[in-house]
Amino acid sequence: MLNHHGHTIFKAAEYVFKFLTGQLTPQEEAEFSRLKKETGLDKRWSQWENRQAWIQDLQETMDFDTSAAYAQFIQQTQKSSKRKRWLQIAAIAILLITVGGIGYYLNRREIPNPFKLTELIEPISHKAYIVLADGKKLELQEKGENIQEQDGTIISHQAGQLVYDPIEKKPQETIYNTLNVPRGGEFRIVLSDGTGIWLNSESSLKYPVNFTGKNREVFLSGEAYFEVKSDSTRPFIVHTSLGKINVLGTEFNVRDYQDEQEVVTTLVKGKVKYQDNRNANPEIVLQPGYQVTASQNDPELSVHPVNLKLYVGWKDGLYIFRNLTLAEIMKTIERNYDVQVVYTSEEIKHLRFSGDLKKYDRVESFLRFIEIGGDVTFKIKDKIITVTSK
């Protein structure tokens, strides 16, 4: 519950900030109205909605520690679970966080656009390339022409996805395609058996054009979300760098980026069995809401319950970060926006933040929000984000 409250407060504070700086969109105004009621902010809003009064007061503010303010909020909410107390603290916390963020910049005379970043970064888009059975490589964008494979299979290409139409006559030979999604891209594919797969940025999937054997086997590098078509006679197997996942019909997420040195499998629906390639007891059966992690640095598998939204929200266009290091968050931004991140000190990487990133929005708003509540600033030039301490 506390995590949800913290998320609500930061989101409301973000909208207060946007209101005061004139950046609130019509769509966000509706969501802001709901959050004002949820946090109790609506009862105090009449005192706060005068923009000019805020600006005048904030220009006189000299020092404000937003980290301490939020820590105080957490300490107070832990003492009581009563809704009345929560509403009081929530409204005050929103005020403190917003004042801290805006006041900091106002006092440095960076007006009227205190968070101006040197250049804009394009949001994630549908882009990928496919390697056909004969080795031919084809670039894929939002729309394109249908593709015919050498066994006669028609691959429909539309709206950022590929759909494989199975052929009536079972082919004698199994041929493979490979779908590669670069940084800054994403793509969806529907295999010949009806299984849907969302492929995230900097990811690759090798798969049969038609499934001809007793098993349906694919090979993943990077991250993908699977909706496996049920078929009790042919198990679906996902091969990763450290093991494989066996399923019949289910929904799950697999994350296997080489630089992270681990394979993380998160089950949403159904049941899967993870088989490790390295140790004597390699099998773990997962239940919905659980996650298994296999690390290159530890032969033991780790299994624990998780908040599913934190690990599969990307499929629906939302990254939810909870108490992650700045280095972990910026790694996701590097992949999704095809940028490079440079830190002016090692200490900055270990600062922790929480927040939400909408995949299809520009990243600048998210970086501004981190600047409001943290001790870092960002500068963008030539697709390089430089992170420095305030």
Q: Taking the domains of the chain in order of start, what are their residue ranges? A: 2-106, 128-310, 317-389
The sign of the CA dihedral 219, 225, 230, 232 is: positive
The domain defined by 128-310 folds into Jelly Rolls (2.60.120)
Residue 207 to residues 26, 196, 234, 279: CA-CA distances in angstroms? 43, 12, 15, 27
Q: Tokens 């590097």 sit at which residue?
A: 334
The answer regarding whether domain 317-389 maps to CATH 3.55.50.30 reads yes
- What span, in angstroms and rounded, lies between the C-alpha atoms of 268 and 249? 11
- What span, in angstroms and rounded, lies between the C-alpha atoms of 319 and 385? 19
Termini Cα distance of the chain:
32
What pLDDT shows up at residue 248? 78
What pLDDT shows up at residue 369? 81
The contacts of residue 374 (CB under 8 Å, 6+ apart) are 66, 67, 326, 351, 353
Whether the full predicted model's pTM is greater than 0.75, yes or no, is no
What pLDDT shows up at residue 105? 42
Q: What is the DSSP letter of 43?
A: G
What pLDDT shows up at residue 21? 55
Residue-wise over 67-81: b if at least 16 C-beta within 10 A, else e? eebbeebeeebeeee
Q: Are 276 and 243 in contact (CB under 8 A)?
A: yes
Task: Please list the residues that pair with 314 across neighbouring strands.
Answer: none
Q: Are 237 and 246 in contact (CB under 8 A)?
A: yes
Tokens representing residue 183 in the block: 């940084």
Q: Which of 1, 25, 28, 18 shows the shortest CA–CA distance to 94?
A: 18
Task: Please list the residues that pair with 284 across neighbouring strands.
Answer: 274
Q: Which of 25, 81, 333, 4 shows the shortest CA–CA distance to 14?
A: 25
- DSSP reduced 3-state for 152: coil
Provide the CA 277 distance to its chain's centre, in angstroms.
Answer: 28
**Per-run averaged pLDDT (10 residues), the chain, 390 residues:** 47 68 71 77 63 48 42 47 47 49 42 47 89 94 83 89 87 91 96 97 97 94 97 94 91 96 96 86 88 92 94 93 93 94 95 86 83 85 91
Q: What are phi and psi of 148, to 5 degrees?
A: -115, 125
- What span, in angstroms and rounded, lies between the C-alpha atoms of 158 and 244? 30
The sign of the CA dihedral 333, 339, 344, 345 is: positive
The contacts of residue 169 (CB under 8 Å, 6+ apart) are none
- What span, in angstroms and rounded, lies between the C-alpha atoms of 380 and 390? 16
